[in-house]
Amino acid sequence: MAARVTKPESQSDILPGTLEMLILKTLTLGPMHGYSIAQHIARLSKDVLRVEQGSLYPALERVQKKGWATSRWRASPTGRQARYYTITAAGRKHLGETSTAYQRAALAIARVMRRA
């Protein structure tokens, strides 16, 4: 079963801000374009998290708007121009904060699920 990350405003399937967190985490590996970010998330989650473009690209706009990442056009390995995203210092800081909060929440949820 694949959790489809859709409807960025309502974040109906996963917790709000999670997609941004995943994007930022991915970008810590180095500058990447949108397609490879999506590929990377899908691969690491063993295809459980399949990010739709309709969510991915607005989310990329959002992280730029927040100042967590910047973008510039560069040649990709195939020679075509692609838009590469780079995480900023503020993005790393935000990532640190959200991942701590996320882990705490995930742990809490796991405990509840075990007991109930």
Partner 1 sequence: MSMLDSLRYRVRALFHPGAHARDAERELRFHLDLEAAQREHDGAAPEDAEFAARRRLGNKTAVAEGMRRVAGLAWLDATRQDLAFAFRGIRRAPAFSVVAVTTLALGIGAATAIYAVVNTVLIRPLPIVDADRVLDLELVRPDSSHEPTIFFVSVPQLLRWRTELRSFAAIGAVSPMREAPLGKRSFAERPLWMDAKHVVRTSAVTPNYFSVLGTAPALGHGFSAGDAGASDDRTAILSYAYWQGAYGADPHALGRTIEFDGDTYTIIGVMPKGFSFPEDTQVWTSAAPDIESFKTNEYTFEFDVVGRLRNGISPARALSELRTRFASDTAGVRSLTDLRVAAPRVRDALVEEVATHLVIMTACVVVLLLIATANVTNMLLVRGTARRHEIAVRLALGAGRRRIVRQLITEALMLAALGACAGLGAAALIARFVAAETALNLPRRSFIALDASVVLVGALASMVIGIVCGLVPALSVSREALETTLRSETARHSVGRRHRRLRNALMVGQVAMAMVLLAGAGLLVQTFHHLMELRPGLTEEGVLTANIYPGLPATDTVARVLAARRIADRLRALPNLSDASVSTTSPLGGEISFRDIRVPGLVLADSAKAYTLFAGIDRHYFTALGIRVVRGRAFTEQDLARRDVAMVNETLAQRYFGSLDPIGRHIIAAGYPVPLEVIGVVQDIRGQTANPSAEPETYVPVAAEGAQNLSLIARVARGDPLALVPVVESAVKQAAPGSRLTYVGPLTAQMGYLAGTEHTYMTLLVAFALAALVITAVGLYGVISYAVAQRTREIGIRIALGASPNTVGRRVARQGLALTLAGVGVGAAAALVATRILRSMLFGVAPGDPTVLAAVAVLLAAVALLASWIPARRAAAVDPLIAIRTE
Q: How far apart are CA 30 and CA 49, in angstroms?
A: 21
Residue numbers of the site for partner 1 (CB under 8 A)? 8, 33-35, 38, 52-54, 57-58, 60-62, 64-68, 70, 73, 76, 80-83, 88-91, 93
Q: State the Rg of the chain over Cα.
A: 15
> Which residue, 12 or 108, has its beta carbon nearer to partner 1?
12
CB atoms within 10 A of CB 40: 18
> Which residue, 41 or 68, has its beta carbon nearer to partner 1?
68
> Which residue, 16 or 67, has its beta carbon nearer to partner 1?
67
